[in-house]
Amino acid sequence: MIRIKSPLLRWLLIGLAISFSVGLLGLSFWLVRLDQDVRARYAGVRWVLPAQVYASPLELYPGARISVTELRRELERLGYRASDELTGPGTFAVSGSELRVDTRAFAFWDGVQPEMRLAVKSDASSLTSLRAMGSDASIDLLRLDPMLIGSIYPSHSGEDRVLVKLSEVPPLLPATLIRVEDRAFADHFGISPKGILRAAVSNLFGGKGRKQGGSTLTQQLIKNLFLSNEQSYGRKINEALMAILLERHVSKDDILEAYLNEVWLGQDGSRAIHGFGLASQFYFNKPLNELRPAEIALLVGIAKGPTVYNPRKYPERVKDRRDLVLQLMEDGGLIRDDEREAEALTPLGVLNSVAGGVERYPAFIDLVRRQIKGLYREEDLGSEGLRIFTTLDPRAQERLEARIIADLPDLEKNRQLKPGTLQAAGVVTSVEGGEVLAMVGDRNVRYPGFNRALDSQRPIGSLAKPFVYLAALADPGRYNLYSSIADEPIDLKMPNGSHWAPKNYDRQLHGNVPLHVALAKSYNLPTVRIGLDIGVDRVHDLIEAAGLQGPPRLPSMFLGAINASPLDVAQIYSTLAASGYLTPLLAIREVMTKEGQPLSRYSFQLKQTLPEGPVYLTTWAMQKVIEFGTGRWAVSVLPAGQKFAGKTGTTDDARDSWFAGFGSDRVAVVWVGRDDNKPVGLDGAAGALRIWGRLMRDLDARGIDLTPPAGVEEAQIDPVTGLLADAGCAAQVTVPFLSGALPKDYAPCANAGQSSPLDWLKDIFR
């Protein structure tokens, strides 16, 4: 034994021994604490799972109004691939008028739609047959998987992801990931000394080139989950220790699954693309299990650095990286040599633009966000992975967008306006059910900025007039569609002493006009005359009953001094279109948990708030707007033989150009104007009507059912006097009246006397 003579040295050694023991003790405590910390933190890992938002699914059935050509387009939008034969879910093949498709399975709110191989035939406009392949049995009905149109992610972190399970991903993905990132993953205990050594050597001799990580997947996961991005030895040591500890508690599979869901794989503005599930949608617009080996190689390749390896920005660099990963796949025996060669020849296949995401349908997603906000807590929306099924009809949306994109430049050219001067917004809803099918809030339809469809509050002008006429027609003792209304000057002394003297839009007076003509031609003076007679309160109440709260109780309201958004207008016109039944316009159908459990469903809600008979008469007059009134241009584009009802709206100096109208199944509202509220020189007919008419045609909207409802009778009328006509009259028109309120008298042209056959028959049926 060595005797230490120097007392100084002895004390020094004793001191060292003590500090070592204390240090060891401290380290032990530190490790125990770190272990608890790792366990607690890992157990508490809550994947930030933004709510996923889906469009409405396409229903396929014999008779569905979609041709094979359009169906093909729908499938491509959903990321289905065309090929010569079906090779698995998400593929289709077209031969002549027949389309075969292998549909994806999807868990809907009311059950799972299994994968199916279908053969579909159509004529030019609709499906004629739908069969399961290998069977002659016709299929009544089938839903395609709905399109993922976006997610509601927390604004603070911007993390977006679609959770996947290890058991559900193609095995090639984790195998490739291990091959590329951490070959010894299966054997190491959290860190890989060999890997660290290799990295150290490489970094030492590799100069300033690429630095090797040497981190295991476990270490990378620890870093991504718990640690900052800071590059320091302290952090590195912590990371290594935590990785070792984590491996003691968690299985390799769990670590791998967590990694697959955590890794950052791209950026979309403020939205961070996390996990392979979302990345697959983000880059290829299809689910993970439909990826080809080259696509898996690409995703694994860019995990190294999604900024440097951004396939949309640096396609060549990414192709090199992908091909390198394919080589590693082959080296590891994951794919064959000939497979690698074939895969390396394929293009990257990355979509040019972002497939889903709020950037695609920003106005509609905005509406979904607002409607869901009151129903769920913000943090749950951003993190609980709710699945929100919406009413968006991608085909209607596409048509609305196409019209606004195509028609605004034409309108500008016609009015010699500088390109880009005009702005527009549009809404399409279903008549029964009040579902918002399409929405555009900016002529740049992908721009997620100011949403004019919801937030632009503009005077609605003559769009208010149908409610004045509705109020009149609900009073059958005084008004019917042929009541004669004087189109004469009005000068109204207001309570504040000022005078209100409205003028007609054409500055002319038209003498006595039949009531429906005054609406069809949008004359202001007869409208004000009727409104004053019926009363501001009645008209006000009808507008509120139709679904727009708080119109000012002033006579100027008759001419539309009411500020409203296009969606507000769609609401009140929907109530007219649905025969007086108010259905609050909705964008959400169902909400499910991420596990597929139904959470809430928003069923059709309706309530009759307007009287059906007078609504029918008003709608009849609104058809005249298109037949011969201010909207007659639409006749040139709408399908012949079908009736649509609508109304132009123009505000002072033509600052706002509106058209709102409907058939039996669709309501559409279009606004055109300028953000600075300067005159655009377009009235409703010259501006919004052009978009609306073509839109209704493109939507394949159906015309109005002309059968009068209960409480309405039709009679033959002499158009000159508005009185009953018979064979003696040269001109006769069929006009609806509220039951019991038919004209009593015959027109002078009628040869019928007191004992006319009409009276006789009427007595029978009275």
Q: How far apart are the first and last CA of the chain?
A: 131
Q: Has 379 been annotated as catalytic?
A: no
Residue 514 gets the label, from left (phi > 0), alpha (psi -120 to 50) or beta, of: beta
Q: Decide: is 140 part of the binding site for another protein (CB under 8 A).
A: yes
Q: Does 454 bind another protein (CB under 8 A)?
A: no
User: Can you tell me which of 584, 596, 639, 748 binds another protein, judged by CB under 8 A?
Assistant: 584
Binding residue (CB under 8 A) for another protein from 7, 333, 374, 495: 374
256 binds another protein (CB under 8 A): no
Nearer to another protein, 61 or 106 (CB): 61
Q: Which stretch binds another protein (CB under 8 A): 83-91, 415-423, 586-594, 644-652?
A: 586-594
For the segment 693-712, give every residue that binds another protein (CB under 8 A): 705, 707, 709-711
Place of tokens 């387009």: 73
Question: Which 393-432 positions form the footprint of another protein (CB under 8 A)?
Answer: 430-432
* CA-based radius of gyration for the chain: 35
Contacting another protein within 742-761 (CB under 8 A) = 742, 755, 757-758, 760-761
Considering only the stretches 203-211, 254-262, 477-485, 600-608, report the one whose residues sit in contact with another protein under the rule CB under 8 A: 600-608
Of 392, 664, 686, 690, which one interacts with another protein (CB under 8 A)?
664
**Least distance CB 257 / another protein (angstroms):** 11
Whole-angstrom distance, CA of residue 123 vs CA of residue 68: 8
- Please answer whether residues 218 and 195 qualify as being in contact, where contact means their C-beta atoms are separated by less than 8 angstroms: no
Verify binding: residue 53, another protein, rule CB under 8 A. Answer: no
125 binds another protein (CB under 8 A): no
Provide, rounded to whole angstroms, the least separation between the CB of residue 455 and another protein: 20
CB nearer another protein, residue 340 or residue 540: 540
Q: How many residues bind another protein (CB under 8 A)?
A: 85
Residue 255 burial (CB < 10 Å; 0-12/13-18/19+)?
Answer: buried
User: What x/- string results for residues 490 through 529 when contact with another protein is judged by CB under 8 A?
Assistant: ----------------------------------------
- What is the distance between the alpha carbons of residues 461 and 105, in angstroms, rounded to a whole number? 49
Q: Please state, in angstroms and as integers, the Cα–Cα distance from residue 491 to each residue in 5, 553, 620, following that order.
A: 121, 18, 30
With CB under 8 A as the contact rule, the residue among 36, 95, 135, 600 that binds another protein is: 600
Give yes or no for residue 450 binding another protein (CB under 8 A). no
User: Which residue, 283 or 620, has its beta carbon nearer to another protein?
Assistant: 620
Sign of CA dihedral 286, 287, 288, 293: negative
Q: Which is nearer to another protein, 2 or 764 (CB)?
A: 764
Q: How far is the CB of 319 from another protein (least distance, A)?
A: 37
Does 191 help bind another protein (rule: CB under 8 A)? no
Of the residues 566, 614, 631, 687, which one makes contact with another protein according to CB under 8 A? 614
Q: How far is the CB of 661 from another protein (least distance, A)?
A: 17
**Counting contacts by CB under 8 A, is residue 667 touching another protein?**
no
Choose, by CB under 8 A, the member of 63, 207, 333, 641 that binds another protein.
63
Six-digit token pair at 530? 């009727």
Is 574 annotated in the active site?
no
Q: Shortest distance, CB of residue 470 to another protein, whole angstroms?
A: 9
Contact status: 640 vs another protein (CB under 8 A): no
| 187 near another protein (CB under 8 A) | no
Task: By CB under 8 A, tell whether 106 contacts another protein.
Answer: no
What DSSP designation does 683 have?
-
Task: Please give the backbone phi and psi of residue 765, each rounded to the nearest 5 degrees, phi first.
Answer: -95, 5
Burial of 199 (0-12, 13-18, 19+ CB in 10 A): middle
Q: Measured from the CB of residue 86, what is the shortest distance to another protein in angstroms? A: 24
Structure tokens at 30: 């530190």
Residue in the block written with tokens 């009040």: 434
Q: How far is residue 720's CA from residue 522's CA, in Å, rounded to a whole number?
A: 20
Q: Nearer Cβ to another protein, position 95 or 734?
A: 734
- Quick one: 3 or 744, whose CB is closer to another protein? 744
DSSP secondary-structure letter at 434? -
Only segment of 166-174, 212-220, 248-256, 585-593 that touches another protein (CB under 8 A): 585-593
Helical H segments across 163-291, by residue range: 172-181, 193-205, 217-226, 233-249, 252-262, 275-284
**Using the rule CB under 8 A, which residue among 35, 98, 665, 700 binds another protein?**
665
Spatial strand order in the sheet of 51-54: 148-152, 51-54, 387-390, 588-592, 598-601
* Residue with Cβ nearer another protein (513 or 617): 617
473: contact with another protein by CB under 8 A: no
Q: Buried b vs exposed e over 501-536: b needs ≥16 C-beta within 10 Å? A: ebebbeeeebeebbbbbbbbbbbbbbbbbbbeebeb
Decide if 534 contacts 472 (C-beta within 8 A): yes
Which token pair is 753? 């006397």
Q: Would you say how long the chain is, in residues?
A: 766
Give the integer Cα–Cα distance in Å for 119 and 94. Answer: 10
In the stretch 539-568, what mask flags binding to another protein with x, by CB under 8 A? --xx-xxxx---------------------
570 burial level (CB within 10 Å; 0-12, 13-18, 19+): buried
Per CB under 8 A, which of residues 198..217 are in contact with another protein?
Answer: none
Residue 47 contacts another protein per CB under 8 A = yes
Question: Which residue in 28, 593, 677, 751 binds another protein (CB under 8 A)?
Answer: 593
* Contact by Cβ (8 Å): 688, 654: no
Site for another protein in 210-249 (CB under 8 A): none
State the DSSP string of 339-387: HHHHHHHS-----SS-SSSTTTSHHHHHHHHHHHHTTS-HHHHHHB--E
Single residue of 288, 436, 715, 747 touching another protein by CB under 8 A: 715
375 touches another protein (CB under 8 A): yes
Active-site residue among 192, 215, 430, 462? 462
Catalytic residue among 159, 181, 239, 247: 181
Q: Which residues are catalytic?
A: 181, 462
